[in-house]
């Protein structure tokens, strides 16, 4: 079982910035990968970013150069800095943790980019 504390969503104008945070906890939690997915209304959930315990990080092409993941070395707490936001970035962003080969998602936080 994984517990999440997520924060940082909100309303921002195009070109603006937001920072999401996620803290994961659980009994004997050994995190293999952490990141965010997002889901816009009427669309399938898509990967935004994954950071693996070995250090490799994979960003979706749509956010490369604009979004940056950071956090502690154990991956228990991570941040997603989102810059140059676009209306198409509007979605519910959910933190995701992979442990023991299974993925777990937080409840999500709404990000709305609109003028």
Reported as a single tens digit per residue, the pLDDT across 72-110 is: 878 889 999 999 999 999 999 999 999 988 999 999 999
- Strands of the chain, DSSP E: 3-7, 10-12, 18-25, 31-39, 46-52, 57-59, 67-71, 77-82, 91-99, 102-105, 109-113
- Over the stretch 1-45, which tens digit does the pLDDT of each residue have? 899 999 999 999 999 999 999 999 887 778 899 999 999 999 999
């Amino acid at each position: 079982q994984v517990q999440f504390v997520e924060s940082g969503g909100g309303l921002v104008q195009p070109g603006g910035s937001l920072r999401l945070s996620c803290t994961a906890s659980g009994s004997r939690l050994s995190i293999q990968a952490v990141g965010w997915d997002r889901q816009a209304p009427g669309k399938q959930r898509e990967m935004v970013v994954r950071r693996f315990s070995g250090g490799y990080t994979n960003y979706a092409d749509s956010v490369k150069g604009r979004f940056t993941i950071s956090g502690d070395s154990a991956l228990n707490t991570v941040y997603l800095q989102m810059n140059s936001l676009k209306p198409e970035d509007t979605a519910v962003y959910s933190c995701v943790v992979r442990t023991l080969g299974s993925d777990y998602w937080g409840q999500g936080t709404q990000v709305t980019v609109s003028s």
